[in-house]
Amino acid sequence: MTTTPTPSGRPAPATARPRRARGLRRLAMPLLLSCGMCLGALAAAGPAQAGQANDTVVETTRHGGRTVALTFDDGPDPDDTPRLLEVLRKHRVKAVFCLWGDHVEEHPELVRAIVAGGHTLCNHTMHHDDMATWSPEDIRADLAEANAAIRRAAPGARIPYFRAPYGSWGQTPQVAASMGMQPLGWRLVIGDWEPHSADEFARRITEGVTPGAVVLLHDGGGDRSATVEAVDRAIPRLRAEGWRFDKPARRG
């Protein structure tokens, strides 16, 4: 056992140490309780509220360089999402699925299939409305409703991203970040809401991609069979040119 020097340099009497220890314990108790309350609050808020998102719209991958992130909006769709999941599984690529709440409620089994495939979820609002002029309160209510629908379909699912319909952001980035979701934009959009061939969409992907780009595609909101086929063709071409597939950045 060591002794504690007094200001004079002599060891403190043995009888003084227990009293000091009890005093330290009394002083430490409120601090421990306070820390416990802080940790409890963070746990209740979840990791996202602990500062893992901000209101900058991210458009690049986590690692930059010759990497690309594939993201798919407006699903899930009973025709095209299952086929897309097969294509991604075949090529061993993980993607981000930006889910439309109404479609989630119609096809909850597809949300579970997306999660089971190891893909990342993104809140794309409940009803795909243009929120450019919405108040923060109305935005929060819609995003919370969409999150709840996703988590009813896939309990415990993480939803680390938010994407505004039409890229019409308004005050959504600030609200999404406060809810722990990073606003997710894009660097390349191939316009697959217009009717074109799979060859044309594949060309737009392979020729339009730039280092670290997030690519916007669709697996819902219409017939996206050409998009799915284009992805099937584009992935091996990109790999042959030295591209790697990555996730979007987690913070701006």
What is the predicted pLDDT for the residue at 26? 39
The residues spanned by each domain of the chain are: 16-46, 67-245
Residue 174 identity (one-letter amino acid): Q
Find out whether 24 and 219 touch, Cβ atoms under 8 Å. Answer: no
pLDDT in tens, 58-74: 999 999 999 999 999 99
Of 73, 80, 219, 232, which residue is the catalytic one? 73
Q: Is 91 annotated as catalytic?
A: no
pLDDT in tens, 189-205: 999 999 999 999 999 99
Q: Is 223 annotated as catalytic?
A: no
Find out whether 187 and 60 touch, Cβ atoms under 8 Å. Answer: yes
Confidence of residue 19 (pLDDT cuts 50, 70, 90): very low
Of 124, 218, 219, 246, which residue is the catalytic one? 218
pLDDT in tens, 128-164: 999 999 999 999 999 999 999 999 999 999 999 999 9
Superfamily of chain region 67-245: Glycoside hydrolase/deacetylase (3.20.20.370)
Residue 241 pLDDT more than 60? yes
Which residue stretches of 191-244 are H helix? 198-208, 225-240
Confidence of residue 52 (pLDDT cuts 50, 70, 90): confident
Compute the mean pLDDT over every residue in the chain, rounded to the nearest whole number: 85
Nearest to 179 by CA among 122, 131, 129, 104: 122
